Amino acid sequence: MKDIIIIGAGPAGISMAVEAVNAGISTDKILILEKSEEHSFTIKKYYPDNKLVTANYKGFAAACTGVMCLADSSKHETISYLDKSIEDHKLNVHYSETVYKIHQDKTEQKFVIYTDKNTYKSKVVVIAVGILGKPNKPEYKVPVTLNEKVLFDVTSKEIKDSKVLVVGGGDSASEYCQYLHQVGNDVTLSYRKDSFSRMNEINLESLTSLANQNEIKLKLNSNITSIEDENGKSKVIFTENEAEIFDFVVYALGGSTPENFLKLIGIEFDGPNPILKEGYETTIPGLFLTGDLSAGKRGGSIIWAFNSANTAMKRICENYLDCKIN
């Protein structure tokens, strides 16, 4: 029986375990389960190597309330900090292990967690997965012959000296444009609305500056109806009765929260968002959501991930475990 099992080994999950150790819980009573082969998979896969990982993100001030804290850092510095946190606190992380079911025991404060490799029991469960488990995909089908040319991130394949269309209107879209331009590509951004409302100020200013200098092209109020294979390139058809050919198309449509999984557990929702009580506790006693899942659409801040872990840990110590936050 564990005291606390944490699902997800990103910044939120790692900081949750660090907070638990700091509160006096023995490391052998703490377990992190991570479906990927390594921790912080989203940062490692979706962040370009030279992209700054910002502490102040989407309006969240970079003010730390818990044990872990990080200023604006490079991707390497961020990963190294998380590596060191795991090592210094002797955290027990099971990689390549997927949770597919969580059962609440109605007779006592206990959960049974079922994975593809084992079954565990724990007094408290914290779900700290990000919202980028699977990138959102367009409604229209993309020809399989273009699988190497139509992508959902900018790091899985080297893109240089190419004509590239980025599709999306959030922070990822701006960051992809900045990165692709920096490495020498001819970049166009397609967005279905007439203005950007989901970007943080830094990304909006960077994107606007590049557009004003004609370094990238903006296609606002543009909707794509289909993509065709044109001799190995992507022929993009827009609803405005125009078509354009690109070497690569990169979608930055964001990810969706694992809503179905959370609902199957029994967590109640208010519309698209899970109902959260004090300390980011769900409607199931002893089951918490931290990181992106506790922030909703505002998610993405590493500082938020760290701070939400500290807030949740206070509630856990008050109500469930014999521990205390200093």
- Residues 264-287 have pLDDT tens digits of 788 998 887 899 999 999 999 999
First-residue to last-residue Cα distance in the chain = 25
Buried b (16+ CB within 10 A) or exposed e, 283-313: ebebbbbbbbbbbeeebbbbbbbbbbbbbbb
- Residues 107-153 have pLDDT tens digits of 999 999 988 889 999 999 999 987 655 677 898 999 999 999 999 87
Region 2-133+255-319: CATH code:
3.50.50.60
- Note the pLDDT of residue 256: 54
Fold match between 2-133+255-319 and 144-251?
yes
**Helices marked H in the chain — which ranges?**
11-22, 41-46, 75-88, 171-182, 201-212, 259-265, 292-295, 302-319
Q: What percent of the chain has pLDDT over 70?
A: 92
What is the pLDDT averaged over residues 172-186? 90
Q: Which residue has the higher pLDDT, 105 or 60?
A: 105
Q: How far is the C-alpha of 208 from the C-alpha of 88, rounded, in Å?
A: 42
Are residues 30 and 51 in contact, defined by beta-carbon separation less than 8 angstroms?
no
- Note the pLDDT of residue 316: 98
- Note the pLDDT of residue 275: 93
Q: Which residue has the tokens 């700091």?
A: 22
CB-CB neighbours of 92 under 10 Å = 15
Q: Which residue has the higher pLDDT, 302 or 169?
A: 169
- The pTM assigned to this predicted structure is 0.67
Q: Is the pLDDT of residue 298 over 60?
A: no
- Residues 25-36 have pLDDT tens digits of 999 999 999 988
Average pLDDT score, the chain: 89
Q: What percent of the chain has pLDDT over 90?
A: 61
Q: Is the pLDDT of residue 325 over 80?
A: yes
CA distances from residue 163 to 188, 229, 235, 244 in whole angstroms, order as listed: 8, 15, 12, 10
- Note the pLDDT of residue 273: 83
Distance, C-alpha 227 to centroid of its chain: 27
CATH superfamily ID and name for 144-251: FAD/NAD(P)-binding domain (3.50.50.60)
* 158: confidence class by pLDDT, cuts 50, 70, 90: confident
Contact partners, residue 10, CB within 8 Å, separation at least 6: 39, 40, 41, 42, 43, 128, 129, 130, 291, 305
- Note the pLDDT of residue 236: 97
The full set of domain ranges for the chain reads 2-133+255-319, 144-251
* 60: confidence class by pLDDT, cuts 50, 70, 90: low
* 15: confidence class by pLDDT, cuts 50, 70, 90: very high
